[in-house]
Amino acid sequence: MGYFTWCMIVAGVGMTVAAVGCGISQSMGIVRAVEGIARNPGAGGKIMTTMLIGLAMIESLAIYVFVVAMIILFANPFTEHVIKMAAGQ
Protein backbone atom coordinates (compact mmCIF):
# COMPACT_ATOMS: atom_id res chain seq x y z
CA MET A 1 0.00 0.00 0.00
CA GLY A 2 1.08 3.52 -0.68
CA TYR A 3 1.83 6.35 1.67
CA PHE A 4 -1.40 8.21 0.97
CA THR A 5 -3.46 5.06 1.47
CA TRP A 6 -1.92 4.64 4.90
CA CYS A 7 -2.67 8.29 5.68
CA MET A 8 -6.35 7.69 4.88
CA ILE A 9 -6.44 4.52 7.00
CA VAL A 10 -4.72 6.17 9.97
CA ALA A 11 -7.07 9.16 9.86
CA GLY A 12 -10.11 6.89 9.72
CA VAL A 13 -8.96 4.61 12.53
CA GLY A 14 -8.02 7.61 14.68
CA MET A 15 -11.48 9.13 14.29
CA THR A 16 -13.12 5.77 15.01
CA VAL A 17 -11.18 5.25 18.22
CA ALA A 18 -11.82 8.83 19.35
CA ALA A 19 -15.55 8.60 18.61
CA VAL A 20 -15.93 5.32 20.48
CA GLY A 21 -13.92 6.57 23.45
CA CYS A 22 -15.84 9.84 23.63
CA GLY A 23 -19.18 8.09 23.29
CA ILE A 24 -18.45 5.67 26.11
CA SER A 25 -17.05 8.40 28.35
CA GLN A 26 -19.97 10.72 27.75
CA SER A 27 -22.53 8.00 28.40
CA MET A 28 -20.81 7.07 31.65
CA GLY A 29 -20.76 10.72 32.71
CA ILE A 30 -24.45 11.19 31.95
CA VAL A 31 -25.39 8.01 33.81
CA ARG A 32 -23.51 9.14 36.90
CA ALA A 33 -25.04 12.62 36.73
CA VAL A 34 -28.57 11.23 36.43
CA GLU A 35 -27.91 8.89 39.36
CA GLY A 36 -26.64 11.83 41.41
CA ILE A 37 -29.70 13.92 40.60
CA ALA A 38 -31.97 10.98 41.44
CA ARG A 39 -30.33 10.66 44.86
CA ASN A 40 -30.33 14.38 45.61
CA PRO A 41 -32.72 16.41 43.42
CA GLY A 42 -31.74 19.61 45.23
CA ALA A 43 -28.23 19.45 43.82
CA GLY A 44 -29.49 19.01 40.25
CA GLY A 45 -28.34 22.45 39.09
CA LYS A 46 -24.76 22.05 40.28
CA ILE A 47 -24.56 18.49 38.96
CA MET A 48 -25.94 19.55 35.58
CA THR A 49 -23.47 22.42 35.26
CA THR A 50 -20.52 20.23 36.17
CA MET A 51 -21.73 17.49 33.82
CA LEU A 52 -22.01 19.88 30.87
CA ILE A 53 -18.50 21.22 31.45
CA GLY A 54 -17.19 17.65 31.65
CA LEU A 55 -19.02 16.64 28.46
CA ALA A 56 -17.55 19.63 26.64
CA MET A 57 -14.05 18.61 27.69
CA ILE A 58 -14.64 15.02 26.61
CA GLU A 59 -16.00 16.18 23.25
CA SER A 60 -12.92 18.35 22.73
CA LEU A 61 -10.88 15.13 22.45
CA ALA A 62 -12.86 14.12 19.37
CA ILE A 63 -12.43 17.59 17.91
CA TYR A 64 -8.65 17.46 18.45
CA VAL A 65 -8.46 14.05 16.76
CA PHE A 66 -10.54 15.40 13.87
CA VAL A 67 -8.12 18.32 13.43
CA VAL A 68 -5.12 15.98 13.47
CA ALA A 69 -6.84 13.69 10.94
CA MET A 70 -7.46 16.65 8.63
CA ILE A 71 -3.80 17.66 8.96
CA ILE A 72 -2.74 14.12 8.08
CA LEU A 73 -5.02 14.10 5.04
CA PHE A 74 -4.63 17.61 3.64
CA ALA A 75 -1.64 19.39 5.16
CA ASN A 76 0.77 16.56 5.84
CA PRO A 77 4.27 18.00 6.30
CA PHE A 78 5.88 14.79 5.01
CA THR A 79 4.05 14.73 1.66
CA GLU A 80 6.78 16.54 -0.28
CA HIS A 81 9.47 14.30 1.21
CA VAL A 82 7.58 11.16 0.26
CA ILE A 83 6.97 12.40 -3.28
CA LYS A 84 10.69 13.23 -3.69
CA MET A 85 11.64 9.78 -2.40
CA ALA A 86 9.21 8.11 -4.78
CA ALA A 87 10.49 10.12 -7.75
CA GLY A 88 14.10 9.29 -6.90
CA GLN A 89 13.52 5.54 -6.99
CB-count exposure of residue 11 (10 Å: 0-12, 13-18, 19+) = buried
Per-position pLDDT tens, the chain of length 89:
788 888 889 999 999 999 999 999 999 999 999 999 999 999 999 999 999 999 999 999 999 999 998 988 888 777 788 778 878 76
pLDDT at 89: 65
pTM recorded for the entire structure = 0.75
pLDDT at 34: 95
Do 81 and 74 contact (CB within 8 A), yes or no? no
pLDDT at 83: 79
Domain ranges of the chain: 3-88
Q: Which among 65, 79, 55, 71 is positioned nearest to 3, based on CA atoms?
A: 79
Span 3-88 CATH architecture: Up-down Bundle (1.20)
